[in-house]
Homo-oligomer: A and B are copies of this chain.
Amino acid sequence: MKSPGGMLLASIELDRTGSVPLYRQLYLQIRQQILAGHLHGGMRLPSTRTLCAELGLSRITILNAFDQLTAEGFLEPRPGAGTFVCAEWGVRDAAADEPRKAPRLSNLSQSVLSLRSDHFSGISYAAWEPGCPTSFLPSHAAYDAFPLPIWKRLMSRHLRQPTKDMLSYGELKGQRALREAIAEYLYDARGIHCSAQQVVIVSGAQQAFNLLGMLLLDPQDSVWMEDPGHIAARIAFQAQGSRIVPLRIDEEGIDVQQGLRECPGARLAFTTPSRQHPLGTTMSYARRLELIEWAGRNLGWIIEDDCDSEFRYQGRPQPALYAMDQWSRVVYVGTFSKVLFPSLRLGYVILPEALVEPFCAMRAVMDRSPATLLQAVTADFMREGHFLGHIRRMRALYQARQHCLLETLQKRLGHFIRVQPVDAGMHLIGWMPPELNDAAIAQGLASQQIYTYALSDYCIQRYLPPGLLIGFAGTPEEQAVDKVEALAQGLISMGYRL
């Protein structure tokens, strides 16, 4: 409970050895608090009795201070009720008196501010509020289908006894059991041969991109980025001052030949080979060899964001770049945000041997390893087979949800939005007539609490028609008709004729 007394008492400090009389010190400090707006009009001060006891002052000292404050119009005694701050002091914001001017920030901060507003034009912070519907946000999983009872049971197991293992600072690289479980999973599922020593746990793919940008990039270094491509990764590298080289996506994935023509000396290539983000293309085997060869010959690095490799509905998954790389130039990044849930905040990086120590040093400086409890539960979830089972179930569920949402969209909006099934991932692209502005549409829909992302936000050099990213994983089949109807009504209310 907010008691002005508690605040007043906590902030008063008396110097009993100095030359300033105690009543004067008390007077000055209460006055300062009123001027600063911390004590405001109408607040009742603690009783003199309380002040005597808490501050170790005589009653006469306090009355002397109060008398002067009353004489100067700061306080008013109300007989029988106590002493109050005069109403004229209002409820003021301490800073309101000063001229408002922008604070002096770092250049990095200013560039991050402008990068964000450039890139996230259609997306507001509000879309992350807990009460807001996820509607068609691409990266939202089927929360309704997560096996919380199992999760809770595994968690309880680790919460039996307070132990150093669970409560203390965790290992720098992350919990060993989790790193081992990840190494095993990647071996079987992605053909990746690595030891637990090469696995470092992070708080998600985004932290991984930032740490890797700091590790590998100097200002003015060039980075091959897919266009359209991953927004957060791009900002992470731009924040390091690097120069983005946008490479087009064709049906085989990132255009390596374009990169070789335009900037063969790039220091880094960022790619999403399993399911190109956001278009959904799978990188061909030939293209993978080309990319690895570039890195090997030019001592470039490759960051492989293996997003959504778990959710593949057609065809066998391609081997990871990491698994094909004989030159130790590939860093593999994975996340549990989609395959488990986003607020778990766990992801991982698989590093070539030579990068393990420098990455760990950067990691140790920037942040410590995520909460051990969540790492331990995730490790158990993997080791006890729940993880593979959950992936299998979600793959079937998402495939069914995709099918249903696709049909519903085609039926209701087919002549406005063109959709095709995707082989992998959690979203469709809804292509729109070329004269439309997808960012404006996404923003207009968001103002009606219908959330999608605009494809143009992902583009660096525009060469694509407008489109919306429409997530299907979070739309149960029985809700598809209603949600698509809400989308249609949203578009109609913005003046589009469907």
Chain A interface residues (CB < 8 Å from chain B): 1-3, 6-8, 10-13, 15, 32, 35-38, 93-95, 98, 100, 102-109, 112-113, 115-116, 125, 128-130, 134, 139-141, 143-146, 148, 151-152, 155-156, 159-172, 175-176, 184, 187-191, 193, 203-204, 206-207, 210, 214-218, 221, 232, 235-236, 239-240, 267, 285-286, 299, 317-319, 323-324, 326-328, 337, 341-345, 352-355, 357-358, 360-362, 364-374
Contact = CB atoms under 8 A, between A and B. Distances in A.
B143 A151 contact: no
Contact of A342 (B98, B109, B134, B168): B168
A115 to B, nearest CB: 7
A357 B103 CA distance: 11
B367 A204 contact: yes
Contacts of A112: 214, 361-362, 365
B328 A95 contact: yes
Contacts of A358: 103, 105, 109, 113
A371 B354 contact: no
B2 A188 contact: yes
B172 A145 contact: no
A148 B341 CA distance: 24
Contacts of A317: 10
A395 to B, nearest CB: 16
Contacts of A104: 216, 267, 299
A357 B110 CA distance: 11
Contacts of A115: 365
B152 A148 contact: no
Most chain B CB within 10 A, of A129, A166, A366, is at A366
Contacts of A285: 13, 15
Nearest to A184: B2
B151 A113 contact: no
Contacts of A188: 1-3, 6-7, 10
Contacts of A216: 104-106, 109
A42 to B, nearest CB: 15
A184 B11 CA distance: 15
Given A13-B285, A162-B143, A98 B7 contact: no
Contact of A215 (B7, B105, B326): B105
Given A7-B187, A188-B6, A152 B161 contact: no
Given A3-B188, A106-B217, A354-B102, A129 B171 contact: yes
B191 A130 contact: no
Given A108-B215, A130-B164, A374-B374, 5 more contacts: A95-B354, A130-B176, A152-B156, A203-B370, A371-B374
A184 B2 CA distance: 6
A25 to B, nearest CB: 9
